[in-house]
């Protein structure tokens, strides 16, 4: 890749990582409910899981979807069903007292990494990155470079959403406001499916 292509890809990666999507809505809620430190394994899992997805997609996984598009369709709808379940769970959750916050666990590293494989936006991003920036047969080092860039940029970009959730804890001081916030976050999680499911 040329320097110009690399800079263009970095801009693309930041934009796709920062814009609202399922990962961002989930870490926003996690930041509010569990705090930033306890959300770090979730952030690391997203960064690692998505970087691995980009690498495997670039290494040839996308050809499986070209030959068997039903697999992509099944993954898309399984992911959508899982996101709807998460949104329902989030919408029903109320504020956490210290005891509940200590007892319950936010999504961890493995769960967040595995979630990327059923995250419709992640598939669109991975396939889009590979087809746009490595449209021809590319060497594995080029594919690995894109994956590493996504991995390095993933945690800080998505971490902004967790930080926003933490900041909201200072504003949302009563049970009613926390329930409203969780309901809005759940609605945004559902809304994030719209552009993906209508493609």
pTM for this entry? 0.77
Average pLDDT on 95-112 reads 74
Residue 181 lies in a domain: yes
Buried b (16+ CB within 10 A) or exposed e, 162-197: bbebbebbeebeeeeebbebbeebbebbbebbeebe
Residue 81 lies in a domain: yes
Residue 168 lies in a domain: yes
Residue 19 lies in a domain: no
Residue 188 lies in a domain: yes
Residue 48 lies in a domain: yes
Residue 14 banded pLDDT, cuts 50, 70, 90: very high
Residue 65: per-residue pLDDT: 66
Residue 13 lies in a domain: no
Residue 59 CB: number of other CB atoms within 10 A?
15
Q: What is the pLDDT of residues 65-98, one digit of tens each?
A: 667 778 767 777 777 777 787 778 777 766 655 5
Q: How many domains does the chain have?
A: 1
Residue 26 lies in a domain: no
Domain containing 168 equals 32-91+107-198
Share of the chain above pLDDT 70, in %: 84
Q: What is the pLDDT of residues 120-155, one digit of tens each?
A: 888 888 888 888 887 665 678 888 999 999 999 999
């Amino acid at each position: 890749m040329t320097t110009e292509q690399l800079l263009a890809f970095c801009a693309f990666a930041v934009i796709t990582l920062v814009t609202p999507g399922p990962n961002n809505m989930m870490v926003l809620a996690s930041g509010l409910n569990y705090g930033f430190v306890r959300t770090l394994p979730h952030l690391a899992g997203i960064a690692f899981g998505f970087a691995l997805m980009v690498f495997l997609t670039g290494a040839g996984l996308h050809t499986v979807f070209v030959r068997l598009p039903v697999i992509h369709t099944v993954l898309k709808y399984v992911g959508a069903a899982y996101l709807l379940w998460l949104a329902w769970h989030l919408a029903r959750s109320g504020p956490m007292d210290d005891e509940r916050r200590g007892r319950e666990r936010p999504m961890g590293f493995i769960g967040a990494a595995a979630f990327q494989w059923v995250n419709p936006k992640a598939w669109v991003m991975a396939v889009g990155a590979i087809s746009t920036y490595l449209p021809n047969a590319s060497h594995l080092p080029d594919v690995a470079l894109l994956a590493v860039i996504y991995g390095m940029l993933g945690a800080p970009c998505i971490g902004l959403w967790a930080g926003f959730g933490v900041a909201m804890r200072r504003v949302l001081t009563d049970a009613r406001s926390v329930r409203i916030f969780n309901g809005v976050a759940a609605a945004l999680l559902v809304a994030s499916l719209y552009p993906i499911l209508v493609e």
